[in-house]
Amino acid sequence: MLCQICGKNPATVHFTEIHDNKMSEIHVCERCAEEKGLQTSAKKHKFEIADLLAGMVDGMTTTEEERVGHVQCPRCGLLYSGFKETGRLGCAECYAAFQFQLRPLLRRIHGDTRHRGKVPTRDGEGVSRSRQIQRLHDELQRAVEREEFERAAAVRDEIKRLEAELRAAAPAPTEKKK
Amino acid sequence: MSPGNGRPRGAKAPTSFAELVERPSEWLSGGGPRAELVLSTRVRLARNLDTVPFTHRARDEQLQGVLSSVANAAERSAAFKDGLLLRMTELPALDRQILVERHLVSHELGDGARPRGIMIAPDQRLSLMINEEDHLRLQAMASGFQLAEAWTLADGADDELDQALDFAFSEEIGYLTSCPTNAGTGLRASLLVHLPALVLLEEIQKVLKSVMQMGLNVRGYYGEHSEVMGNLFQVSNQTTLGRSERESIEMLERVTRQVLEQEERAREKMMRDARVQVEDKVWRAYGNLRYCRTIHVRDVINLCSAVRLGVALGLPGLCPLHVVNELLVLAQPAHLQRRYGADLTPAERNVYRAQLVRERLEAAERETRSGD
């Protein structure tokens, strides 16, 4: 695939841009990426994160930007504008509170937004099973939304099976260890 | 590499800061695979407690709570059994700086201003920074090229800590970290590699660029961009989402192997085309270190690089690798001040540094002679 900007070099930098609530894939060569200030590399430094964020709101009107800046984490009270200044989130809940803003940022930093690594094993199988159930519930909802009812039925059966296993494994629900 | 370059491991666990600093760090031991090219391997995992705000947004009482619950969990784990817990607020500035120079503690943790601490396992290969940028920064270090071993060590300790602590985690994003650059696996795996021949033959920029194109991060270890000191480079994974820990580590391993091959080829070429000049450079560097009367830390780092190259090329009569490795840490300001007095001027430090370097090399020569 050739670079979408110069049309000459092979496109080696790929990212997703969100503009006017529309998502588009962009494929460019390294040189154009550099010239346009589009970088996919992880930026450790907070100001570089701030630069990334600044680059991403280009094209947003001032009012839109202000509105996004006022999004607040219900748990720790951090405003999105505060994150933009420091490049650091306030607590675990911030990831959910700012999910719509963070997703494109994560994609830009990592080239992906989905975790494929290890999962906590705390409390042994019980927790990983409940996480699995949680994930299946999400999938069930998505399947229903997309009207994929066959898939939804299969997911529902899987949830039932896992819930039965979980009940058999731990008759009384245990408190999370602190 | 030639046998006998590695230093034997100390067995007894340090029970105090004083005992800890008497012992050289394991990652400097000059042992492990490919130690002539790779100084050390490091694997770091970032974790946070689910219910407490991230370190920079938490109140001191909350951080105090994190410090005690994490230290408690670590003390009960097999990985940190008989480990040493150091609270930053209880350590004087010089001691904190010593930990920074040993790469046990980051600059952020070393400021001593907030309830932070470090737990160090008896063999010093595993450590756990508490209330750094993230609540937990678990770190496994090893000498030489030992990514799989370091990962296994960190992974096992993480599993144990996970049994006792409630880590912030989401199905979609993975482990949640203060900075989104670490979210997902929270993994930073890095290798400290010595690339003098690529620097000398001016091929280094090309090689570094290709490493970065592979999505890895690489930077000079001492000094900034144009003036990398000691020809030491740190190669690490850049991204933490979309790839499993093993995939990230395998990719780092694969790319680094290619870099090492290029360095080896450059060394061969150098020895073929300019053997005398290389040997001259190595021995002049050794002579400078062995007989200096005042020396700046920058010169120690650069001269040690040349000696290290000589050892790796198998030139007879030089010191073992661990001696040059250890000088990189022992010649740093806080280590010198601890040894020779805390209120030295920079000029006095240079004189004491020269004395230390001479003594270390002389001791190594004596050992080599008595071993013959």
Mean pLDDT, rounded, of chain A: 73
B229-275 pLDDT, tens digit per residue, is 899 999 999 999 999 999 999 999 999 999 999 999 999 999 999 99
Length of chain A: 178
Is A115 within 8 Å of B241 when comparing Cβ atoms? yes
- Mean pLDDT throughout A80-104? 93
What lies within 8 Å, CB to CB, of B252 at 6+ separation is: B147, B189, B190, B191, B216, B235, B236, B237
Per-residue pLDDT at A21 exceeds 50: no
CA distance B136 to chain A (A): 14
Is B212 within 8 Å of A46 when comparing Cβ atoms? no
- Mean pLDDT throughout B347-370? 93
Is B213 within 8 Å of A12 when comparing Cβ atoms? yes
Q: Is A56 on the interface with B (CB under 8 A)?
A: no
Per-residue pLDDT at B122 exceeds 80: yes
B177 three-class SS: coil
CB-based burial label for B301 (10 Å; 0-12, 13-18, 19+): buried
- Considering just the CA atoms, what is the radius of gyration of chain B in Å? 21
Position B278 scores a pLDDT of 96
At B2, is the pLDDT very low, low, confident or very high (cuts 50, 70, 90)?
very low
Position B316 scores a pLDDT of 92
DSSP B195: -
Percent of chain B with pLDDT over 90: 77
Residues in A touching B215 (Cβ below 8 Å)? 40-41, 111
- pLDDT top residue among B337 and A121: B337
Per-residue pLDDT at B11 exceeds 60: no
Per-residue pLDDT at B313 exceeds 70: yes
Q: Of A52, A78, A89, which to mutate for an interface test with B (greatest number of B Cβ within 10 Å)?
A: A89
Task: Return d(Cα A154, Cα A39) in angstroms, integer.
Answer: 41
- Mean pLDDT throughout A139-151? 82
Position B175 scores a pLDDT of 97
Percent of chain B with pLDDT over 70: 95
| Candidates B57, B164, B172; nearest CB to A115 | B172
Position A31 scores a pLDDT of 67
- Mean pLDDT throughout B176-196? 96
Q: Is A143 on the interface with B (CB under 8 A)?
A: no
Residues in A touching B133 (Cβ below 8 Å)? 88
Per-residue pLDDT at A60 exceeds 90: no
- pLDDT top residue among B113 and B236: B236
Q: Is A22 on the interface with B (CB under 8 A)?
A: no
Which runs of consecutive H residues, i.e. helices, occur in chain B? 17-22, 60-75, 93-101, 147-164, 196-200, 204-213, 245-291, 297-312, 321-330, 333-340, 346-371
Global pTM reads 0.79
∠ CA A74-A80-A82, rounded to 5°? 105
- Mean pLDDT throughout B65-81? 95
Residues in A touching B50 (Cβ below 8 Å)? 92
Question: Which is it for strands B187-194 and B174-175: parallel, antiparallel or unpaired?
Answer: unpaired
Residues in A touching B53 (Cβ below 8 Å)? 75-76, 90-91
- pLDDT top residue among B303 and A52: B303
Q: Is the dihedral of CA B212, B217, B219, B224 positive or negative?
A: positive
The one-letter amino acid code at B3 reads P
Per-residue pLDDT at A172 exceeds 50: no
- pLDDT top residue among B369 and A107: A107
- Residue of B311, B321, B228 whose CA lies nearest to B39: B321
Position A69 scores a pLDDT of 80
Mean pLDDT, rounded, of chain B: 91
